[in-house]
A and B are shown apart, each in its own frame.
Chain A
Amino acid sequence: MEVEDFGHHISRRFNEDLEHVRNSVLKMGGLVEEQLDRALQALSQADSALGLQVAHDDYKVNELEVSIDEECSRILATRAPAAIDLRLVVAILKTITDLERIGDEAEKIGFLAARLASLEGSVNNYRELRNIARHVTVAVHRALDAFARLDSKLALDVVKADEDVDQEYEAIYRQSITFMMEDPRTISRVMDLTWSARALERIGDHAKNICEYVIYMVHGKDVRHIKLETIETKVVDRNAG
């Protein structure tokens, strides 16, 4: 299926509109990635100023979401796109919602990082977040790559890898409970930590959603709430056919 060819329209303006809105989504993605990176940096280096900065900068993500949303509505109203173009616009509308949520979670991590930095506590304790953080940043990065390249195979890989994130979260959750039972004085700190892990786990889910939209965009198949094996056969079938 020819999916990369948005340049086939008679109207050049239409091509430009579609290209532009797609680029805006990736720009928003870049911003969200940076927000996430900085939030995690604030967390690992106990940098409360950076954490608050991240929380403050979330408005940029929101502004982009609103402007892309408007642009999509305009395209839908004036161009009445069909087939792949329609799928692209629909997928973009959904993708930006998830990106905005990732931005919100990053904001939350920023706040938590600022609070954790001001609390007494060993820096070592944030080390358990490192693994899940790495998984999640890679997932977001690869989801956006899949979006940019319209690469359904990569998207499928990210969907599969989300299970690792869930397991990591589970492990941190159990560990936190143990900590809190051992020493109730740590409860407020460990709670904040668990909330950060929770936010990361949510980000992983949003990255997975974005990948599902990519698969929808490329193959025209809705793969939400379906077993992984079924998705796989759908994607592989289309690739083979």
Chain B
Amino acid sequence: MSKRWVRQLLGLSGWLLAALALGAWFGAVSWWLAAALAIWLGIVLCRLYDLDRALDDRKPLFITSDRGMWAELLARVERVKDKARYRKKKYHQLLREVYKSTGALRDAGIILNVQHEIQWFNAAANRLLGLESSRDVGQRIDNLIRNPEFVAYLDAAKDDVITIPSPKDTAGRLAVQIIPYSRNQRLAIFRDITHEFRLERTRRDFVANASHELRSPLTVIGGYLDAMLDDGSIPSVWHTPLAEMQRQVDRMTRIVRDLLELSRLESMEGHAGHEFVEVGAMLRAIHKEFAESGAGPKPALSLETDAALLGDESQLHSVFFNLINNAVRFTPDDGKVDIAWKATKGGVCFEVKDTGIGIPEELIPRVTERFFRVEPGRSRASGGTGLGLAIVKHALQRHGAKLEIESELAKGSVFRCHFPPDRIATRGGVRQAAAQ
């Protein structure tokens, strides 16, 4: 117990004793005691009133005279209030800074809880998505951004980025990413990519149009070259140049064809269709083609599963053909090319293993870029267009499949395509899958 409290107690006992003594003197003890207690109670009530005001008031309370314990109590209340006021000011300032900086962001940020309800968002969310804090906090975000792809993404809780049409303007495009940052809160970030989207489309259209326009002149040149080669009246000195010209025209035709295929793949939105594709038969046919052609090593085919796929037949054909074709082209005649179709833990896998020249490790991530060549001279000489793996990558993407490349220089490469389980078709499941 502090000294002040002791003094206070002593004061009270002194006061009561004095009342008792006076009461005994005048012969009315109970009256005197009651009066003394009433006065004491009055004083305590007054102090309590002061204390109440001190806790309540925004302005500091001035303690005019020293009243022992009470003054101390009031002073302490003031100190606590001061501290709280200072802290509040500091947090307020910090909060204002945070608001200012998130408000300056060009990407919309929205905090969501487990029920997908909006808890907070920045100023850009208003600009990009038309949200307003007065009415939209507490709303479920999938009620306001109703794009089916976005709703599915919200439920799937994956960490990749998807692109959706802007809810304010269907021509606009937004990139969305949802980042979980605590057990029950997630941050959704929306970025306006309309400009990039348009540029990309312009580029795609340009490539498609250019390839298309190149095709007809090439056909004409090829036709005349054929005629000239067949014509006996042309001097023999021209035979070699003409043959070379024809080879180059063939190559260019192939490039244009691949470019067109690639731009067609790129322009298709969403996922590939769900046709029933008999992979075993398709691989046997491709294998036969290579086995019967004169050039290169003879590939070996092993079909370990009879699984069929649900997808786009021509795209899958071009995936398998390009991968096998690459393996055969980059493997010496005495090397080995093994093709396998097998079931794995999480789906099915198409694998091409060769003992060819291999790819340097640092270049592996780049081989699917268009016109990227590990060894420019070699690849061109063997008749490649530089687009095969780009086509493979895009076609696989549309099937939700993954391309895995392992390679060692001078020892060989392995290309694996992993197809997810929802692309696998069983005989009985065809009808059901086709209905979807």
Contact = CB atoms under 8 A, between A and B. Distances in A.
B148 A145 contact: no
A30 B147 contact: yes
Contact of B139 (A27, A34, A148): A148
Nearest to A150: B135
A141 B151 CA distance: 16
Given A137-B170, A149-B135, A26 B143 contact: yes
Contact of A151 (B135, B143, B151): B135
Interface residues of B, number: 14
B142 A149 contact: no
Contacts of B147: 30, 33-34
Given A30-B151, A37-B165, A37-B170, A23 B146 contact: no
B275 interface: no
B144 A148 contact: yes
The listed residue with most B CB atoms (<10 A of its CB), out of A22, A31, A34, A144, is A34
Nearest to B164: A34
Given A37-B170, A137-B170, A31 B148 contact: yes
Interface string A65-85: 000000000000000000000
A137 B136 CA distance: 22
Contact of B144 (A33, A34, A145): A145
A110 to B, nearest CB: 15
Nearest to B268: A49
Interface residues of A, number: 17
Given A30-B151, A37-B165, A141-B167, A23 B140 contact: yes
A144 B167 CA distance: 12
B210 to A, nearest CB: 19
Contact of B148 (A22, A34, A148, A149): A34
Contacts of B151: 27, 30
A33 B144 CA distance: 12
Interface in B121-150: 135-136, 139-140, 142-144, 146-148
Contacts of B139: 148-149
A103 interface: no
A33 B167 CA distance: 10
Contact of B136 (A33, A141, A149): A149
Contact of A27 (B142, B144, B167): B142
Contact of B146 (A22, A30, A137, A149): A30
A29 interface: yes
A22 B143 CA distance: 9
B55 to A, nearest CB: 34
A20 B170 CA distance: 27
A29 B146 CA distance: 7
A22 B146 CA distance: 13
B138 to A, nearest CB: 8
Nearest to A28: B146
B394 to A, nearest CB: 18
B171 to A, nearest CB: 10
B148 A23 contact: no
A104 B72 CA distance: 79
Nearest to B435: A59
Interface in B144-173: 144, 146-148, 151, 165, 167, 170
A30 B148 contact: yes
Nearest to B165: A37
A129 B251 CA distance: 44
Contacts of A141: 167
Contact of B142 (A23, A33, A137, A151): A23
Contacts of A144: 146
B170 A23 contact: no
Contact of B143 (A37, A137, A148): A148
Nearest to A141: B167
Contacts of B146: 26-27, 29-30, 33, 144
The listed residue with most A CB atoms (<10 A of its CB), out of B136, B151, B170, is B170
Contacts of A27: 142, 146, 148, 151
A4 B373 CA distance: 61
B167 A23 contact: no
Nearest to A133: B170
Nearest to A60: B148
Contacts of A29: 146
Contacts of B140: 23
Nearest to B167: A141
B163 to A, nearest CB: 14
B145 to A, nearest CB: 8
Contact of A23 (B135, B136, B143, B165): B143
Nearest to A59: B435
Contacts of A26: 142-143, 146
A31 B151 CA distance: 10
B390 to A, nearest CB: 23
A149 B130 CA distance: 13
Nearest to A38: B269
Nearest to A27: B151
Contacts of A22: 143
The listed residue with most A CB atoms (<10 A of its CB), out of B143, B144, B147, B148, is B143
Nearest to A151: B135
Contacts of A31: 148
A55 to B, nearest CB: 15
A42 B140 CA distance: 31
A39 B135 CA distance: 32
A223 B211 CA distance: 58
A144 B144 CA distance: 8
A22 B139 CA distance: 12
A40 B140 CA distance: 28
Given A23-B143, A37-B165, 11 more contacts: A26-B142, A27-B142, A27-B146, A27-B148, A27-B151, A30-B146, A30-B148, A31-B148, A34-B148, A148-B143, A149-B136
12 contacts: A22-B143, A23-B143, A26-B142, A27-B146, A30-B142, A30-B151, A34-B148, A37-B165, A37-B170, A141-B167, A148-B143, A149-B135
User: Closest 10 CB pairs between A and B?
Assistant: A30-B146, A148-B143, A26-B143, A31-B148, A30-B148, A37-B170, A34-B148, A29-B146, A149-B135, A148-B144
